[in-house]
Amino acid sequence: MSDAPAARPAAPSAQTAPPLATTAKPVVGVLALQGDFEAHARVLARLGARLREVRTARELDALDGLVIPGGESTSMTIGIERERLAEPLRELVLRGLPVFGSCAGLIVLDREHLGVMDVLAKRNAFGRQVDSFESDVDLSGMPGGPVHAVFIRAPWVEEAGPGVEVLGRVEGGPADGKIVAVRQGCVLATSFHPELTGDHRVHALFVDLVRTERAGRTGAGTEEVR
Q: What is the pTM of this model?
A: 0.84
User: Could you give the angle at which helices 73-82 and 86-94 cross, rounded to 10 degrees?
Assistant: 90
181 inside domain: yes
Domains of the chain: total: 1
141 inside domain: yes
Can you give the residue range of the structural domain that contains 160? 23-224
9 inside domain: no
Catalytic residue among 195, 200, 203, 213: 195
Question: The domain that contains 189 carries what CATH number?
Answer: 3.40.50.880
Cβ atoms 101, 37 nearer than 8 A:
no
10 inside domain: no
Is 195 considered catalytic here? yes
16 inside domain: no
The three-state secondary structure class of 105 is helix
Q: Residue by residue, what is the 3-state secondary structure of 2-40?
A: CCCCCCCCCCCHHHCCCCCEECCCCEEEEECCCCCHHHH
13 inside domain: no
**Per-residue pLDDT of the chain in tens (226 residues, 90 and over written 9):** 444 444 444 443 333 443 444 458 999 999 999 888 999 999 999 999 999 999 999 999 999 999 999 999 999 999 999 999 999 999 999 999 999 999 999 999 999 999 999 999 999 898 776 568 899 999 998 999 999 999 999 999 999 999 999 999 999 888 899 999 999 999 999 999 999 998 999 999 999 999 999 988 776 544 433 3
* Backbone conformation region of residue 21, classed left if phi is above 0, alpha if psi is from -120 to 50, else beta: beta
Residues, the chain: 226
107 inside domain: yes
130 inside domain: yes
Catalytic residue among 40, 103, 113, 203: 103
Catalytic residue among 40, 113, 193, 203: 193
